[in-house]
């Protein structure tokens, strides 16, 4: 199935969120080869974007050098938009991000997205190791964003200039898991992406805030929201639920303060978590935004989620241990877009 255009499901595009999972028994090199293979497949299948997420100090996630990996994926593909979902701006000097994404846009013109978050993407000790200070708690995110936007403006008289970067029209998205970024994106008239795949309880509130407070800008005349969804699809509900235990084990390791590699599926999760842990993880991996099942189940639940949220686009995260199963899950989604 070869596509030269973006295919849509229920009239909205589908995109891919990749955390570059490092599997138990694997290596980071294999992780990146898997990401390239996935990006090339979803490009052929008609997905709209391929975004990579910044995380640090997590053994099972290989996307810490996010800008480097974006360049690697963009270089291995031809048309699909590639970007950050997202860069955690408090971890970086805005000038550095302007230069990095100016470089990416120069090499791959018209294909680069810059999604920005205000969380550290790590714990406090790691945040200090990245920043050498903890003065920035995210409260100054609007000022950091304004500084970054300034570096993208063409100003030959500026004392400090982003070269490359200045004068480039790189789409900036705001990412969030609460109402803060929803309101900021609305105020600035920017596209917004909400992390409903791990903050399902706040998605409707965030969408309401974004739409009610949106102010048209030179970037957007109307609000545009892309929502994160976990999807694990297989031929049967039972097979999908078995594959999903790898993601459940990963969240369990994070919950218990012992982040691990992405582990193989298990037959009985109740042998691994307590009732309290199961309930806690169930709130994060809510069935409305963590959709697991056969093609029929996935189609029904995605349609319901789109109807409930009025999303303009969905970005799909699929944490599956085996690469072939992961590719097949996205292929099932691609078939739905036909």
* CATH number reported for the structural domain that contains residue 76 in this entry: 3.20.20.30
Residue 88's φ and ψ, nearest 5 degrees, are -85, 95
Is 80 exceeded by the pLDDT of residue 4?
no
15: left (phi over 0), alpha (psi -120 to 50) or beta: beta
Asked whether residue 101 is assigned to any structural domain, the reply reads yes
Average pLDDT over residues 257-282: 97
| Polymer length of the chain | 338
Q: Which domain holds residue 156?
A: 8-337
CA 77 to chain centroid: 18
Number of domains in the chain: 1
Nearest-CA neighbor of 64 among 94, 28, 105, 13?
28
Average pLDDT over residues 248-261: 95
Number of Cβ atoms within 10 Å of the Cβ of 106? 12
Distance (Å, whole) CA 228 – CA 193? 7
Average pLDDT over residues 200-209: 96
138: confidence class by pLDDT, cuts 50, 70, 90: low
Average pLDDT over residues 53-67: 95
Asked whether residue 3 is assigned to any structural domain, the reply reads no
Which residues, other chains included, contact 54 with Cβ-Cβ below 8 Å and sequence gap of 6+?
Answer: 63, 64, 66, 84, 86, 87, 88, 91, 117, 121
Is 50 exceeded by the pLDDT of residue 145?
yes
CA 289 to chain centroid: 14
Average pLDDT over residues 31-46: 98
92-127 pLDDT tens trace: 999 999 999 999 999 999 999 999 999 865 567 777
Token digits of residue 49: 């974007």
Is 80 exceeded by the pLDDT of residue 43?
yes
Nearest-CA neighbor of 323 among 260, 249, 243, 236?
243
325-338 pLDDT tens trace: 999 999 999 999 98
Is 50 exceeded by the pLDDT of residue 10?
yes
Asked whether residue 92 is assigned to any structural domain, the reply reads yes
Local structure of 254: helix, strand or coil: helix
Distance (Å, whole) CA 200 – CA 278? 16
The widest CA-to-CA distance across the chain, in whole angstroms, is 64
Asked whether residue 260 is assigned to any structural domain, the reply reads yes
Percent of the chain with pLDDT over 70: 95
Mean pLDDT lowest among 3-12, 222-231, 235-244: 3-12
Preceding peptide of 86 cis, ω within 30°: yes
Asked whether residue 216 is assigned to any structural domain, the reply reads yes
- pLDDT for 135: 63
State the virtual CA torsion across 104, 108, 110, 111 in degrees, nearest 10: -80
Asked whether residue 2 is assigned to any structural domain, the reply reads no
- pLDDT for 125: 77
Average pLDDT over residues 5-25: 96
- pLDDT for 124: 73
Q: How far is CA 54 from CA 168, 206, 315, in A?
A: 23, 22, 16
- pLDDT for 1: 45
Residue 325's φ and ψ, nearest 5 degrees, are -65, -35
Q: Work out whether strand 8-9 and strand 12-18 pair parallel, antiparallel, or are unpaired.
A: antiparallel
- Please tell me what DSSP assigns to residue 32: H
């Amino acid at each position: 199935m070869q596509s030269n255009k973006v295919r849509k499901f229920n009239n909205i595009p589908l995109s891919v969120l990749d955390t570059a999972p490092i599997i138990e028994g694997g290596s980071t090199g294999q992780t990146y080869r898997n990401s390239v293979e996935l990006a090339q497949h979803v490009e052929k299948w008609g997905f709209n974007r391929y975004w990579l997420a910044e995380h640090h100090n997590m053994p099972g996630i290989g996307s810490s050098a996010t800008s480097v990996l974006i360049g690697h994926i963009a270089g291995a593909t031809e048309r699909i938009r590639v970007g950050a979902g997202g860069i955690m701006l408090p971890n970086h000097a805005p000038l550095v991000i302007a230069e990095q994404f100016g470089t990416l846009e120069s090499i791959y013109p018209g294909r680069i997205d810059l999604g920005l978050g205000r969380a550290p993407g790590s714990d406090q000790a790691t945040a200090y190791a990245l920043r050498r200070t903890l003065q920035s708690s995210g409260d100054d995110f609007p000022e950091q964003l304004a500084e970054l936007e300034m570096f993208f403006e063409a100003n030959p008289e500026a004392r400090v200039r982003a070269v490359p970067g200045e004068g480039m029209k790189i789409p900036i998205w705001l990412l969030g898991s609460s109402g803060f970024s929803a309101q900021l994106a609305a105020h600035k008239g920017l596209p917004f992406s909400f992390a409903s795949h791990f903050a399902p309880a706040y998605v409707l509130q965030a969408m309401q805030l974004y739409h009610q407070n949106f102010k048209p800008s030179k970037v957007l005349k109307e609000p545009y929201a892309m929502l994160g969804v976990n999807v694990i699809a297989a031929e049967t509900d039972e097979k999908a639920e078995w594959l999903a235990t790898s993601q459940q084990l990963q969240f369990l390791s994070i919950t218990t303060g012992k982040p691990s590699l992405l582990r193989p599926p298990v037959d009985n999760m109740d042998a691994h978590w307590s009732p309290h842990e199961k309930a806690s993880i169930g709130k994060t991996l809510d069935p409305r935004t963590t959709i697991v099942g056969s093609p029929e189940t996935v189609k029904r639940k995605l349609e319901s989620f789109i109807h409930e949220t009025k999303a303009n686009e969905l970005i799909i995260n699929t944490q599956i241990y085996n690469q072939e199963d992961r590719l097949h899950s996205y292929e099932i989604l691609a078939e739905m877009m036909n």
